[in-house]
Amino acid sequence: MSHFKPASGFDPRRAVSEHFRLSEFTRSATADKHQLYNIPREDCEFANLRALAENVLEPARALLGAPLVITSGFRCGTLNRLIGGAPQSQHLYGEAADFIPKRKSHKTEKGPTVEEAAEILAAQDNLPFDQLIFEIRVRAGEGQSPVRWIHISHRRLGSNRHQVLSVLHTATGSKTGSGIVSLSDFETREACRAAS
């Protein structure tokens, strides 16, 4: 491996922890499309990612018995705006990652589903996450199955709240529930509200 280092920011091939490289936290189809160089430039951002990986993602990977596929990690300000992230999103500071557990290819030995993984991690009193959010996005259109992922955050400096939420994203907006709420439970609640 060469010792190439970009003019500004950290080398994407740099290890963040035993099983995670920086590129896993910085790759983004949106960033590529807009030719954004989405990479931490501050030592504190990299230190935050390292704390997130070592304290939360590595233990989560071990607990779930499956590699984690990070779908969104670090976001520079422009990327966060482009994808409609919260203005104070912890992704901006390297404090949060969205992921799914990798399903195993063996039919007999499948890893946990995203919802099962969320349940398992939410129940870990010793896992020092700030927020764990089970997220579901329902896509418009026939035959489009919902997308599920886990947002997890960790504060290197300051206290971690161990807060567990679920968010359902639809074409008309987002709904938040406390704890792990499945899609069918969100829909039942909606039906109750509509009926009352």
Cα–Cα dist 152/53, whole Å: 10
Q: What is the DSSP letter of 138?
A: P
Determine if 154 is a binding residue for Zn ion (CB under 5 A): no
Residue 151 engages Zn ion in binding (rule: CB under 5 A)? yes
With contact defined as beta carbons under 8 Å apart, do 50 and 21 qualify?
Answer: no
Report the residue number, 11 or 83, with the smaller CB distance to Zn ion: 83
Residues between 96 and 135 that touch Zn ion (CB under 5 A):
98
Per rule CB under 5 A, is residue 137 in the interface with Zn ion?
no
Dihedral sign for Cα atoms in the order 31, 143, 117, 88: positive
Q: 46 vs 95, which CB is nearer to Zn ion?
A: 95
The CB-of-16 to Zn ion minimum distance in angstroms stands at 17
In b/e form, how buried is each residue of 39-66, taking b as 16+ CB within 10 angstroms? bbeeeebbebbbbbbbbbbbbbbebbeb
The region of 21-29, 110-118, 138-146, 149-157 touching Zn ion under the rule CB under 5 A is 149-157
Stretch that binds Zn ion, among 18-26, 60-68, 147-155, 176-184 (CB under 5 A): 147-155
Per CB under 5 A, which region of 34-42, 47-55, 144-152, 186-194 contacts Zn ion? 144-152
Q: What sign does the dihedral 161-163-167-173 (CA atoms) show? A: negative
Residue nearer to Zn ion on the CB measure, 103 or 169: 169
Considering the complex, state which of residue 22 and residue 92 has its C-beta at the smaller distance from Zn ion: 92
CB nearer to Zn ion: give 64 or 150. 150
Q: How many angstroms separate the CA atoms of 150 and 72, rounded? A: 10
Closest approach, Cβ 164 to Zn ion, in A, equals 14
Distance CA 121, CA 119 (A): 6
Residues that bind Zn ion (CB under 5 A): 98, 151
